[in-house]
Copies of this chain bind each other. A is one copy, B any other.
Amino acid sequence: MYIAMNRFKVKDGSETDFENVWKNRDSSLSEMKGFREFHLLRGPRNEEEGYTLFASHTIWESHDDFVAWTRSQNFRDAHKNAGTNKVLYLGHPVFEGFTVVEGA
């Protein structure tokens, strides 16, 4: 099991627009080998810096399945319009990949 998260600092006032980008996207992740679950998560607000943390959260069977997706046409299609949404968040999305140490 491998968890891929991408963290976005969404600017105050852009939360709904950001959520709609994800709700309205045309995803075919579920066709990929090893894909288990996808969620868009809304985290804490940072009052001082004026953003709310969001994270995409995808569970894969294995790290290899995740890597295969990043090299697929599916991945390129999913990210082709990502640049147009940059106005909604601060800086760049930060990727973090996690392997499971313990638990079930």
Contacts and interface: CB of A to CB of B under 8 A. Distances in A.
B43 A96 contact: yes
Quick one: copies of this chain in the complex?
Answer: 2
A88 interface: no
Contact size range, A: 20 to 34
Contacts of A54: 101
Contact of A102 (B1, B39, B43): B39
B104 A41 contact: no
Given A19-B102, A102-B22, A102-B23, A96 B53 contact: yes
Interface of A: 1, 3, 19, 22-23, 37-44, 53-55, 57, 96-104
18 contacts: A3-B41, A19-B101, A37-B103, A38-B103, A39-B100, A39-B103, A40-B101, A40-B102, A41-B98, A41-B100, A42-B98, A42-B99, A42-B101, A43-B96, A43-B97, A53-B96, A54-B101, A57-B103
